[in-house]
Amino acid sequence: MPDTELPQMPAADLAQRLDGGEHVQVLDIRSPERVAQGRVAFGATLDFRALAASEMYRLPSLAPLGLERTAPVAVICGHGNSSQRATRFLRERGFEAYSVTGGMAAWETVYLVRRLAPTAALHHVLQLDRVGKGALSYVLVSDGDAVVVDPGRHLDRYDALLAELDATPAAVIDTHIHADYLSGAPAAAVRWQVPYFLHPDDARSPYDDAPGRLAYQPMTDGDTIAFGRAALRVAHVPGHTLGSVALLADGTLALTGDFLFVRSVGRPDLGGRRDAWARLLWRSLERARHEWPGDLVVLPAHYAGEWERRADRSVAARFDVIAATNEAAALQEERAFLVWVADHTATPPESYRSIKLANLGLAEISEAEAEALEFGPNQCAVG
C-alpha cells in the first residue's frame, strides 16, 4: 500500500470522535519515557494503550495488545512518521488502523469550541478547549464586538472563529502571565490592532523583578472593560501569580484564570515564593467567598481531567458547588489551607520558567522550541 493511500486520521478528527464518545482505540507507539511526558488522555470512553513500535514488531502475536478488530485503531507517534509503518503493520494483520496525522505534535494544537449559554449582554460565550494541554480560552461577543481571553499562540484558530461569528476583536486579555503555554495575546493585539490588557503586577519577572518587554494596557481591581453592550469587571485575586485576575460578566460568569479551578486552585509556587503566595491565595479565596454569589458560573483557564466536565463537555461549575466540593476551596481555616497547599504541591516543570520569561518578552523562543516547551498537560493546579 503506497503511503499516499495509507489511511490517515487528522488529530482534530480524533479529538472530535473521542469528544463525541465514539469507541476509538488509541495506540501510542512512542517510547515509555515520551508517553510518560504526555499522551492522549481525553474523552470519557478513551480506550488507550501504549507499546513502543520496536517492541510491537517483535511480538509473535498481537494478542497482548488487546486490540479489537471491530473498532478503529488510531496509531499515534511523535510527528506522524513512525505511525505510518505501524499502521501498515496493523492493517496487514486485519485491524482497521489509521495513522494520526502529525502525531502528538498535532494533538497539542487541537482546539475544540464549546458554545456556552449566553447572558443578557453576551450573545456568544465560547470556550476553546485545547485538549492536549487541558487549557481553556474564551471568546466573548456582544453586539458584534469580541474580547478574547487567555488565547494560545495558534491565532488562526481564533481568526477562523471570529470570522464565523462575524465578530470584530475589541480587546485581548491575559488573566495572568502563563507558565505552561506561550500566550497568543500580545501577538493578537498587534494583529488585530486592539489593546492587550494585563495586571501590572504580572508585567515583571517573578524571579528577579525585571520589567517585561511587552506593550500592554494595565487593568486593576475594580476596572471595567467595555465592549458592545457588555462590560467585564476586573477582580484582582493574587496567589497563583501576583497579578492574577478574575473577570466577572453580567453577574453570572466568572472567568477565573488559574485562580480557581473546578477541583483545585492555582499553584502558588511558580515564582519561588510558595508560602507567601499561598497566603495571598487564601485571602483571594476568602474575598470570593464573601463577595461572589453561589450561582455565579466559574469558567477556569485549565482542567486536569474528565471529572471536571459538565454533561455538555464544557468545563465549568457554579461557585457554590465549587465551594462545597473543591477540596481546597472548602477549607475554612487559613492554617489548614496552607498545610494542604504545602502537602499537595509538587516540583514544577523546568520548562515553566522559560515559558513565563518568553511571555514577558524576556526570552526569544523559536517555533521548534515552543513545541518542546509546551509539550504535555498543564501542571498549574495544586495536587
pLDDT of residue 3: 54
The DSSP annotation for 9-69 comes to: EEHHHHHHHHHTT---EEEE-S-HHHHHH-----STT-EEEE--HHHHHH-S-SGGGT--S
pLDDT of residue 5: 82
Instruction: Provide the grid cell at 325.
Output: 466540593
Confidence of residue 286 (pLDDT cuts 50, 70, 90): very high
In the predicted model, what is the mean pLDDT of the chain?
Answer: 96
Q: What's the whole-number mean pLDDT along residues 233-246?
A: 98
CB 198 within 8 A of CB 142: no
pLDDT in tens, 83-141: 999 999 999 999 999 999 999 999 999 999 999 999 999 999 999 999 999 999 999 99
Which pairing describes strands 230-236 and 224-227: parallel, antiparallel, or unpaired?
antiparallel
Q: Is 122 helix (H, G, I), strand (E, B) or coil?
A: coil
pLDDT of residue 257: 98
Q: What's the whole-number mean pLDDT along residues 58-79?
A: 96
> Helices H, strands E: what count in the chain?
12, 18
Q: 111-374 — its CATH code?
A: 3.60.15.10
pLDDT in tens, 182-222: 999 999 999 999 999 999 999 999 999 999 999 999 999 99
Q: Where are the domains of the chain?
A: 3-107, 111-374
% of the chain beyond a pLDDT of 90? 98
**Scanning the structure block, which residue is given the C-alpha cell 514488531?**
57
Task: State yes or no: pLDDT of 287 exceeds 90.
Answer: yes
| Of 383, 382, 375, nearest in space to 30 by CA | 375
Classified by CATH at the fold level, domain 3-107 comes out as: Oxidized Rhodanese; domain 1 (3.40.250)
Task: State yes or no: pLDDT of 4 exceeds 80.
Answer: no
